[in-house]
Amino acid sequence: MTFQNRGKVQTKHERSMARITTYHTCAGRISWNYPPGFVLALVLAVLLVACGDKPKAPPPAPPEVTVLKVQPKDTPVSFQFVGITASSQQVEVRARVAAFLDDRLYTEGGIVKKGDIMFQMDPKPFRVQLDAAKAALAEQKARLWTATADLKRVKPLAKAKAVSLKELDDSQGRVNAAAAAVEMAQAEVEQAELNLGYTTIYAPVTGASSFARIQNGAYVDQNDSLLTYVAQLDPIWIDFSVSENTMLSIRRQVKEGLLRRPPGEGKLKIKLVMADDSVYPETGKLFFRDANYSTDTGTFLVRATIANPDELLRPGQFLRVQVKGYIRPNAVVVPQQAVLQGAQGFFVWIVDSESKAQTRQVQVGDWHGADWFISKGLSSGEQVVTDGLVRLSKGVPVKIVKPGAAKAKASGS
C-alpha cells in the first residue's frame, strides 16, 4: 500500500522513517516526528543550550560575626556553697522552780523582746516560804541582840575579875553563833525571794518564740522544765560546709598565684541567694571556721554572720552562699556561648590577622556569672567570636560587625 506525498510515491515504511527520527544527546534521548533536516537543526540548537557552559553564581557574602578582644585583667571571683541559717543565740526557756503553770503570756511564734513576761507560775507557795524565811531571820536577829547584850555586861565584870574568863569566852561564842544564824536566815530569805521571782518567767533575748511545750494548769518540775525556745534573729548566722578538695584547690591556686586573698583577716564577704533566686540585700562576713575536719561529711564547717533587721531570715532556711573577696589576677574571661566542646576538648573560634575564622583549643576554669575563665589558650589582643558561630568554617573570611548584628542576621530579622 502506498501514499501520495508532494508528487512522490512512498511506501508506508519510507513515510515512517521520514517522520520519526531518534537522537541520543547529552540531554537524553529525543524522538521527533519531523523531517530529518529540520530535526537535525533543532537538535544542534538544543545541544548548544543544554551542553554549553552555565553562568557562574556570585560568591556568597562572608559570614558576619561579633568578636570580643581578649584583655586580661584582675577579676573578682566568688565561690558558691549551700548554707543553712541558724540563730546567733537560741535560748531554752525553762522553769527554775517546781510549780503549777498558771498562764502563758506571749503569742506563740511571735517576736518577743528581752524582758517581756512569757509565763506565770503559781506564786502562792513561794510567798509563804518567803514569809517564813523572813520570820526566821527576825528570830535570829533577836537572839543576836540578846547575845550581844550579855556580852556587854560580862566584859566589865571579867575586867574586874568578878567572873572567870571562861564565862567571857562563852558570851563571845554565843554572839558569834547568833551572828552566823542571822546570816543563814538572811540567805534563806534571799533564796525565797529568788524562788518567788522565778515564778514569773521573762524572755531572755529578743527574738522569735517557739510554741509552748507545756499548757496552762500543768505541773512543771525539774524533769519536765522546758517551756519553749527563743531564737535571736538579728544578727543571724549562716553555716555552710567546704569540702576538702575545694579547700586544697583554693590553697594551691593562691600558692601558684592564680588567686589572691584580700588583705587582712576577716575581709572575705558573703552574699546570699534566696530560694527564688533573689539576692538578699545585706552583706555578711566570715568569722568562724571549725578547726576539726568532719570525717562523717568530709568537709570543714564555716560560719558567717549577717544583719537581719527586717527578720526576713529565719533559722533553718536553705540558701546559696557566695563567698566574695578573692581576686584572679590577669584573668582571661569570655562569654559562655563562645566556648564550644569537641572531640579534642574545649575550643573557641577566633578571627586571625587575615580576617579568617580559625579554631583554638583552650583550657577552661571556673564559671564567672555568664562568663568563663580561660586558663590557657588565649593571649592578649586576640579576637574571640561571640556571635555568628553557626556559619563559620575554618579558614573562611568573616566580616566583623557590632554586637547583636550577627545574631539578628542569623535569625533572619
pLDDT in tens, 283-308: 999 988 888 888 888 899 999 999 99
pLDDT at position 191 over 70? yes
Backbone angle region of 298, left / alpha / beta, with phi > 0 → left and psi within -120 to 50 → alpha: left
pLDDT at position 278 over 70? yes
Contacting residues for 50 by C-beta, under 8 A, at least 6 apart? 25, 26, 27
Give the C-alpha distances (Å, rounded to integers) separating 123 from 28, 75, 106, 115.
119, 66, 19, 19
Q: Which of 199, 228, 257 lies at the terminal end of a domain, its last residue? A: 228
For residues 68 and 100, membership in a common domain is answered with no
Main-chain phi, psi angles of 236, to 5 degrees: -120, 150
For residues 112 and 215, membership in a common domain is answered with yes
For residues 107 and 153, membership in a common domain is answered with yes
For residues 68 and 115, membership in a common domain is answered with no
For residues 68 and 42, membership in a common domain is answered with no
Does 135 fall in a domain?
A: yes
Q: What is the pLDDT of residue 1?
A: 42
Question: In terms of pLDDT, which residue wins out, 410 or 27?
Answer: 410
Contact in structure between 167 and 194 (CB atoms under 8 Å) = no
Does 363 fall in a domain?
A: yes
**Which three cell numbers mark 28?**
537524553
Give the CATH number, domain containing residue 380. Answer: 2.40.420.20
CA 127 to chain CA mean position, Å: 54
pLDDT at position 16 over 80? no
What per-residue string of b and e applies to 315-340 under the rule 16 or more CB within 10 Å gives b? bebebbbebebbebeebbbbeeebbe
Q: Which of 169, 203, 228 lies at the terminal end of a domain, its last residue? A: 228
How does residue 410 score in pLDDT terms, banded at 50, 70 and 90?
low
Q: What is the pLDDT of residue 390?
A: 85
Cell 579558614, residue located: 395
- Mode of pairing for the β-strands spanning 363-368 and 371-376: antiparallel
How does residue 6 score in pLDDT terms, banded at 50, 70 and 90?
very low
Does 377 fall in a domain?
A: yes
**Which three cell numbers mark 14?**
519510507
Q: In 3-state terms, the chain is what percent helix, strand and coil (to 5)?
A: 30, 40, 35
Q: What is the pLDDT of residue 21?
A: 46
Contact in structure between 267 and 325 (CB atoms under 8 Å) = yes
Mean pLDDT for all residues in the chain: 85
Residues 311, 232: Cα–Cα separation, whole Å: 10
**Which three cell numbers mark 208?**
522569735
Main-chain phi, psi angles of 253, to 5 degrees: -65, -35
For residues 196 and 121, membership in a common domain is answered with yes
Range from 134-143, 154-163, 250-259 that averages highest in pLDDT: 134-143
Cell 541582840, residue located: 145
For residues 203 and 110, membership in a common domain is answered with yes
For residues 38 and 109, membership in a common domain is answered with no
For residues 68 and 34, membership in a common domain is answered with no
**Could you list the residue range(s) of the whole structural domain that residue 26 is in?**
2-50
For residues 110 and 68, membership in a common domain is answered with no
Does 401 fall in a domain?
A: yes
Q: Which of 167, 200, 228 lies at the terminal end of a domain, its last residue? A: 228
How does residue 24 score in pLDDT terms, banded at 50, 70 and 90?
very low
**Which three cell numbers mark 139?**
528570830
For residues 120 and 68, membership in a common domain is answered with no
For residues 218 and 131, membership in a common domain is answered with yes
Number of compact structural domains in the chain: 3
Question: In terms of pLDDT, which residue wins out, 162 or 53?
Answer: 162
Does 7 fall in a domain?
A: yes
Give the CATH number, domain containing residue 125. Answer: 1.10.287.470
pLDDT in tens, 343-370: 889 999 999 989 999 999 999 988 888 8
Cell 600558692, residue located: 255
